[in-house]
Amino acid sequence: MLYLILSILFSVLLLVNFRMHQKWKVDTTVAILFNYPVCFLTGWFHQLDALPFQWPDIAQSFGILALGVGFVITFLFSGISTQKNGMAVTSLANNLSLVIPVLFGLFFMGQIAHLNGFTIVGLLMALSSIYLFNPQINKLENKGSYLALVAVFVGYGLTNTSFSYLNSAVSTKVGGTIPFMLMALVGSMIASVIVLNVQFAREKIAINRQSILAAIPLGLPNFFSFYFLLKALDFYKSDLSIVLPVYNIGVIACSALVAWLFFKEKLNAKQLIGLGIGIIAILLLLQ
């Protein structure tokens, strides 16, 4: 449980970074793309003997690199959808994506035996909590692209599913959790270099000092949020039906508390009800 709590706390710290970007005049896209080398160096210093890598077979190695590319693509889709559809609706699509890995774990990873009344009710309450927590979910705020919204939902769902599956399948072959993460981050860095060059050539982004420096406080919690989530998956034997709902609801609840305490953001009655349902859902999923 400690690993899961730490993963939630570092994920909330990521959101705090994004919340401060406007104040710091940071280009979030640049900070995201530069944060992957920071993640890589953080992991390497955490386990210096992770290099050289012990790559598995070609198919699994490609899967690990593709996972890293997926991290970047999903972040970028999230940014596009936020611009077109608004933060609230994009956040809803992101959090509802937990349905994909949970169902995958139940029906394709032999965890169907864990499906009981508590799990079913907990999952339903978790989804209800996310629905209630997000404001203005009955319409797209900017009448924007449905395609971007679907991409966020599918992207986060597939990335989380692949992340969990590959961790259980290959992490022991490559030397443990950190080497597995570093291999995925190689894919992220390759994708980031390509995106940076394309966007810079098209004059879509401006690379400035504060945006590059913002990658440091972004990359550190980014690494540890993934690291402790992987450790939690190891502890719960990759049981997605337990870990991911608790993680998602935990991030929502802690983010709400931090936003209220430090940024004076208030929750409406519907959100408070959703928060309460989410806490009950967590307790049911832990039975």
Exposure string (b/e) for 165-190, b if CB count within 10 Å is 16 or more? bbbbebbeebbbbbbbbbbbbbbbbe
Local confidence band at 251 (pLDDT 50, 70, 90 cut-offs): confident
Local confidence band at 185 (pLDDT 50, 70, 90 cut-offs): very high
Q: What is the pLDDT of residue 43?
A: 94
Which residues are CB-contacts of 71 (< 8 A; sequence separation ≥ 6)?
A: 36, 159, 184, 187, 188
Q: Which residue has the tokens 């929750």?
A: 267
Least confident among 3-12, 162-171, 186-195: 162-171
Q: What is the pLDDT of residue 280?
A: 84
Judge whether 267 and 134 are in contact, CB under 8 Å.
no
Local confidence band at 10 (pLDDT 50, 70, 90 cut-offs): very high
Q: What is the pLDDT of residue 44?
A: 94
- The C-alpha torsion from 143 through 147 and 149 to 155, rounded to 10°, is -170
Q: Which residue has the higher pLDDT, 122 or 27?
A: 27
Please tell me the pTM assigned to this model. Answer: 0.81
Q: What is the pLDDT of residue 110?
A: 66
The three-class DSSP label of residue 101 is: helix
Q: Where are the domains of the chain?
A: 2-48+56-285
pLDDT in tens, 35-91: 999 999 999 998 988 889 999 999 999 999 999 999 999 987 876 776 566 555 666
In the structure encoding, which two tokens stand for residue 189, read together?
């860095």
Q: Which residue has the higher pLDDT, 49 or 270?
A: 49
- The C-alpha torsion from 278 through 224 and 100 to 162, rounded to 10°, is -170
* DSSP string over 139-201: S-TT---HHHHHHHHHHHHHHHHHHHHHHHHHTTTTTSHHHHHHHHHHHHHHHHHHHHHHHHH
In the structure encoding, which two tokens stand for residue 70, read together?
């997926």
Q: Which residue has the higher pLDDT, 100 or 63?
A: 63
Q: 154, 271, 177: which is closest to 231 by C-alpha?
A: 177
Q: Which residue has the higher pLDDT, 98 or 36?
A: 36
- The C-alpha torsion from 141 through 147 and 150 to 154, rounded to 10°, is -150
Q: What is the pLDDT of residue 241?
A: 66
Exposure string (b/e) for 25-41, b if CB count within 10 Å is 16 or more? ebbbbbbbbbbbbbbbb
pLDDT at 235 over 90: no
pLDDT at 6 over 90: yes
pLDDT in tens, 105-133: 777 766 666 677 887 887 788 778 777 76
Q: What is the pLDDT of residue 180?
A: 93
Residue 47: φ, ψ to 5°: -145, 90
Q: What is the pLDDT of residue 87?
A: 56
Q: 226, 103, 126, 98: which is closest to 171 by C-alpha?
A: 226
Q: Give the integer Cα–Cα distance in Å for 112 and 103.
A: 9
Q: Give the integer Cα–Cα distance in Å for 195 and 71.
A: 13
Q: Give the integer Cα–Cα distance in Å for 191 and 187.
A: 6
The three-class DSSP label of residue 85 is: helix
Max mean pLDDT among 8-12, 15-19, 111-115, 264-268 falls in 8-12
